[in-house]
């Protein structure tokens, strides 16, 4: 008969996903080639895209906050 081992902590398989959301992004012809030509050694194209998206989100949040402050007269 097969022996079963029961442990206090369950076995963990693999690592937790760092990137859980996906987006399919059509780009203009030549865009990926431009990105690739600017990559540093060991740098991944997706990291460049992720960083650009993060920077744009921060910029837009900052702009939105400034507009809101201008509308209310707050500083």
Distance CA 17, CA 5 (A): 28
pLDDT in tens, 20-46: 899 999 999 999 999 999 999 999 999
CB 45 within 8 A of CB 39: yes
- 36 or 11, higher pLDDT: 36
Distance CA 43, CA 37 (A): 11
How many CB atoms are closer than 10 A to CB 19? 7
pLDDT score recorded for residue 34: 97
pLDDT score recorded for residue 68: 87
**Considering the chain, what percentage of its residues have pLDDT values greater than 70?**
89
pLDDT higher than 70, residue 53? yes
pLDDT score recorded for residue 18: 83
């Amino acid at each position: 008969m097969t022996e079963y081992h029961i442990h206090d902590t369950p076995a963990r398989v693999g690592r937790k996903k760092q990137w859980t959301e996906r987006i399919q992004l059509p780009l203009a012809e030549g865009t990926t080639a431009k990105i690739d030509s600017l990559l540093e050694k060991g740098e991944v194209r997706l990291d460049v895209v992720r960083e650009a998206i993060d920077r744009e989100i921060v910029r837009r949040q900052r702009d939105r906050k400034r507009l809101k402050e201008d509308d209310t007269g707050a500083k």
